[in-house]
């Protein structure tokens, strides 16, 4: 029984000191009563794995959310303290500034959406069948965070010498702090994902997280509308607002199509 339990624990990803502890406890139990009805090793290993994976997935979701808060701060501070926005053609390369800006715009929104959804599901955790979904959301959120931090660093490198040196250093340091924070969270994610869960659930859509009235098109419309109004007011141009609002709508649709399955946005 002990040998079989050891194999099953290894199969579900429970190894090292944790496995040794479980085996020692079961060996002690069998020494007290060799006929003890301990249960099926496969089911016991699955039960340990479900319990461990559930706790780890929830911790990982909250950890990723904290890491993304660091990224948000480290990227937002340089952007808010930039004395003047440099001319787009004054940087090292037009091929650098476009992807850098796009990475910041897209990455930050993906990270925010996936990070919030992962944390919400972890807060209202319903059982091990939700572990797989939380893991996928965390992975997407961390990817979005990495994209944002990379974009910020590329932006600073592109305008090195054009913007004040203190600002370029601040942006690169912020990207570095983001990388450290994301790497720590990614390690925790990798460890938690090494444990196999015995159950997964079918996608229940956004309404399972945000309530019965949550519709992706409605959220997209609010995001595009907010961009339109905010840009029109800040830039003093309705045309510019409409352009950015339209761009936001296109981005939203693209990201929704690409991520609806990993994030379980639809049923």
Whose Cβ is closer to another protein: residue 48's or residue 159's?
A: 48
Binding of another protein by 10 (CB under 8 A) = no
Binding of another protein by 4 (CB under 8 A) = no
Residues 6 or more apart whose Cβ sits within 8 Å of residue 241: 227, 228, 229, 230, 231, 232, 233, 235
* Binding segment (CB under 8 A) for another protein, from list 33-41, 94-102, 138-146, 164-172: 33-41
Whose Cβ is closer to another protein: residue 4's or residue 235's?
A: 4
**Which two three-digit tokens encode residue 243?**
């352009």
CA dist., res. 137 & res. 262, Å (int): 7
* Helices 216-235, 238-259: crossing angle, 10 deg rounding: 150
* Interface residue with another protein, options 4, 7, 15, 25 (CB under 8 A): 25
Residue written as token pair 């015995």: 198
Binding of another protein by 26 (CB under 8 A) = yes
Number of residues that bind another protein (CB under 8 A): 23
Binding of another protein by 44 (CB under 8 A) = yes
Half-sphere exposure (Cβ direction) of 242: Cα atoms closer than 13 Å: 3
Whose Cβ is closer to another protein: residue 54's or residue 231's?
A: 54
CA dist., res. 118 & res. 143, Å (int): 13
Whose Cβ is closer to another protein: residue 44's or residue 75's?
A: 44
Binding of another protein by 65 (CB under 8 A) = no
CA dist., res. 106 & res. 199, Å (int): 32
Footprint (CB under 8 A) of another protein, residues 89-128 = none
**Reduced DSSP (H G I as helix, E B as strand, rest coil) percent helix, strand, coil of the chain, to 5:** 80, 0, 20
Binding of another protein by 33 (CB under 8 A) = yes
Residues near another protein, by CB under 8 A: 21-22, 24-29, 31-33, 36-40, 43-44, 47-48, 51-52, 55
């Amino acid at each position: 029984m002990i040998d079989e339990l050891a194999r099953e624990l290894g199969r579900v990803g429970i190894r090292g000191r944790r496995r040794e502890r479980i085996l020692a406890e079961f060996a002690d139990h069998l020494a007290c009563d060799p006929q003890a009805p301990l249960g099926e090793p496969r089911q016991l290993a699955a039960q340990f794995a479900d319990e461990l994976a559930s706790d780890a997935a929830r911790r990982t979701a909250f950890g990723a959310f904290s890491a993304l808060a660091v990224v948000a701060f480290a990227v937002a501070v340089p952007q808010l303290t930039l004395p003047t926005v440099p001319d787009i053609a004054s940087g090292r390369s037009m091929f650098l500034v476009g992807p850098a800006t796009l990475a910041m715009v897209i990455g930050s929104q993906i990270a925010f959406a996936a990070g919030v959804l992962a944390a919400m599901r972890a807060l209202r955790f319903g059982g091990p069948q939700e572990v797989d979904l939380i893991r996928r959301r965390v992975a997407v959120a961390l990817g979005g965070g990495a994209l944002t931090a990379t974009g910020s660093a590329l932006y600073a490198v592109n305008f090195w010498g054009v913007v004040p040196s203190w600002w370029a250093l601040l942006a690169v340091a912020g990207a570095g702090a983001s990388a450290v924070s994301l790497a720590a969270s990614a390690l925790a994610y990798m460890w938690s994902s090494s444990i196999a869960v015995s159950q997964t659930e079918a996608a229940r859509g956004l309404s399972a997280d945000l309530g019965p009235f949550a519709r992706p098109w409605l959220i997209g419309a609010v995001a595009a509308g907010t961009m339109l109004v905010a840009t029109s007011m800040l830039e003093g141009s309705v045309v510019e607002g409409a352009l950015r609002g339209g761009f936001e709508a296109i981005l939203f649709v693209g990201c929704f199509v690409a991520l609806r399955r990993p994030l379980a946005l639809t049923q």
